[in-house]
Amino acid sequence: MDIILANTAGFCFGVNNAIKIAEDMQDDEIVICTLGLLIHNEQVVNSLKEKGIRVISDISEAPEGSRVIIRAHGVTPEVYEEAEKRNVVIVDATCPYVKKIHKLVRQMHKDGYTIVIAGDRDHPEVRGINGWCADSAYIANTPEEADTIPPVEGKCCLVAQTTLTREKFDGIYDKLKEKCKSVVKFDTICSATSSRQEEAEKIARISDVMLVIGSRKSSNTQKLYEISSKYCKKTYLIETYGDLPPINVKEVQTLGITAGASTPERTIKEVIEKMDELNKQEKEMSFEEAFENSMVTLRSGEIVKGKIIGFNNAEIFVDLGYKSDGIIPVDEYSDDPDFKPETGVNVGDEIEVFIVRVNDGEGNVLLSKKKVDSMRSIEKIEEAYKNKTPVAGKVVEVTKGGVIVSVDGVRVFVPASQLSERYVKDLNEFMKQTIEIKIIEMNRQRRKVVGSRRVVLAETREQMEQEVWTGIEVGKKYEGTVKSLMDFGAFVDIGGVDGLVHVSEMAWTKVKHPSDILKVGDKVEVTVLDFDTEKKRISLSMKKEEDNPWFRVSERYKEGDIVKGTVVRLVPFGAFVELEKGLDGLVHISQISNVRIGKPGDVLSTGQEVEAKIIEVNEETKKISLSIKEVNPIDPEPAEEEEKSVENASDEVKKEEPKAAAADDIPSEHREELNNTIGDVIGSLGDIE
């Protein structure tokens, strides 16, 4: 008899953490309590009691100044509030997965969602979760119970008890979609619970007898028992080795064992030791029995186990315990077109094979591993189709209208329309890729299996989108991908949701068109400026404070420094000089030359390089004032003609006046300086007259 023990059997992280906290808290001077049973195991609870740790059923029972351990199931907000009032110290051992559900439910309830909890309404974990949405949640433990939930007009949010089976969760979700206009689903089933349940199913499928060790009061132990019972008729729920049923080990080839999250390691060990003892007794058999059992009889069409003893480029050799070795042609070993024996076969490995013929004409047994894989995989695919769960496979062939995906040896057709959410021009780009698909059509008799990658992508995108909208906030940074470029900006995918980076938010310097600095597919870091949950709009920025030319400008430029720059713009009241890209300083007309000049253009030109002295740096108002005349004053060229008459000078001033008056394009902080300049010009006219 082979004994298979589940790798996931025994304490989960949450329970183990709670017990460790309790065991480390022994203190003779302080009263220590647990709010409810810390674990559904009588032996562990009694052990903690012997160490002086009390069990209370309500926080009001805790003595003032005591410490109370909150178990992995979690509690309502009122418990924390009551503890604070009573001067009781809370030691929180709530499972991190459960804590996450509390925060999620509180936020979604605050955002106006109707909360639905998939789970047992009498379970302490579910009661605790309901407390974080003011006990307003609808609760259903089965799809049938979900039928009693009234139609919800607004938004609806579905979460699950961490120990719920995925089958029930998906069934409840399907029912809710019929009743609610908008349902947001959060898969809060504990990953450890899922792994434990999946492993229990796998072991139960191949076991003659299945033992589930744990308390009958434990929710996750009960679910393990339910799952195991579906696939192994002889499934027994036991709390200790003393509950073992009478088992005739001679009739049992494989015994499977799993255990709930509240089952201590020593209890599991005691059960295994008892079964090992029975196993040893079974091995005491007569010589005749041993000889008879050693004889191997092979028949075509059977599936048997063998051990790989060698291979070459064309064949793999298998020891079956028969008078002749078995041979697997390479093309019957795997459905993978890239399979090579030297990299995919290990001598000594035990494998299952299908007997094609007992005698291939040369005395050898012809075998196929591919047929076994296909038979096993078709069951797996059938289960995935029933449960609507995705499966992974490799694209092995491109056909007219789609591709063929090999899922553990089963050929699944994926139509071109179901390969992607976008149009795929060349299907060969998927060749040899491993992709995840959902089975959308299956007819075992006709050996027709159809899959969809598009459905998986849509569900993944929907889940990612919900995660983004749940956690988004102004100022939050994301790593995004540029999806498309427009004249006014770029749309960036931040994880299932697109946000807009306006062209003005791409850089601190002016960007004429997004394509000047971005291309589709670029990875960029963006910051949330604003968002509208109802309209599904997000405004993003690519600007970084440290890239702002004015960032800590006073550390780089100080009053009295001599700097070099380029004249980039001339205005009536002075010249703007670029000190570095995006950073300009102003040379007022009075700071260009020691001699009065009519306009900056008389002595300066755009693109001219100049040296200037910094007179003022104002980081707050983003102004740098410069002086050329204090370094190298630029004087006008001597006049080649006689001085103009007063009348001509007056005419020239009048010609310039409209330009000065049309100052809409001049920054507000420079308009006062312009007015002063105009005043100076008019005053000089009076002097001339």
Give the Cβ contact number of residue 294 at 10 Å.
8
User: Do 523 and 542 meet the contact criterion of CB atoms below 8 Å apart?
Assistant: no
Assess whether 125 carries a catalytic annotation.
Answer: yes
Give the Cβ contact number of residue 146 at 10 Å.
23
Distances (CA, A) of 405 to 146, 237, 436, 452: 36, 41, 10, 10
Q: Tokens for 160?
A: 């699950």
Q: Which residue out of 125, 199, 239, 332 is catalytically annotated? A: 125
* DSSP secondary structure string for all residues of 447-513: TEEEEEHHHHHHHHHHHHHHHHHHH--TT-EEEEEEEEEETTEEEEESSS-EEEEEGGGS-SS--S-
Backbone torsion region of residue 27, taken as left when φ is above 0, otherwise alpha when ψ lies between -120 and 50, otherwise beta: beta
b/e code 13-48 from CB counts within 10 Å (16+ = b) = ebbbbbbebbeebeeeeebbbbbebbbbbeebbeeb
Q: Which residues does residue 349 pair with via DSSP β-bridges, in sequence order?
A: none
Backbone torsion region of residue 495, taken as left when φ is above 0, otherwise alpha when ψ lies between -120 and 50, otherwise beta: left
CA 579, CA 566: separation in Å to the nearest integer? 7
3-state secondary structure of 514: helix
- Cα 135 to its chain centre, rounded Å, is 29
CA 256, CA 259: separation in Å to the nearest integer? 10
CA 400, CA 121: separation in Å to the nearest integer? 52
CA 578, CA 504: separation in Å to the nearest integer? 20
Distances (CA, A) of 461 to 237, 458, 465, 468: 41, 5, 6, 10
User: Do 622 and 586 meet the contact criterion of CB atoms below 8 Å apart?
Assistant: no
User: Do 477 and 526 meet the contact criterion of CB atoms below 8 Å apart?
Assistant: yes
Distances (CA, A) of 327 to 3, 318, 352, 365, 568: 30, 6, 13, 6, 83
Q: Which residues does residue 329 pair with via DSSP β-bridges, in sequence order?
A: 315
Tabulate helix, strand, coil % of the chain (nearest 5).
Answer: 35, 30, 35
Q: Which residues does residue 500 pair with via DSSP β-bridges, in sequence order?
A: 491, 539
In terms of Cβ atoms closer than 10 Å to its own Cβ (0-12, 13-18, 19+), residue 494 is: buried
CA 548, CA 224: separation in Å to the nearest integer? 59
Q: Which residues does residue 611 pair with via DSSP β-bridges, in sequence order?
A: 564
Which H/E stretch holds residue 404?
strand 402-407
* DSSP secondary structure string for all residues of 577-601: EEEETTEEEEEEGGGT-SS--S-GG
Give the Cβ contact number of residue 441 at 10 Å.
12
Which H/E stretch holds residue 574?
strand 574-580
Q: How many CA atoms lie within 13 A of 46 on its CB side?
A: 3
Residue 251 DSSP class: G
Q: Hey, which residues are catalytic here?
A: 125
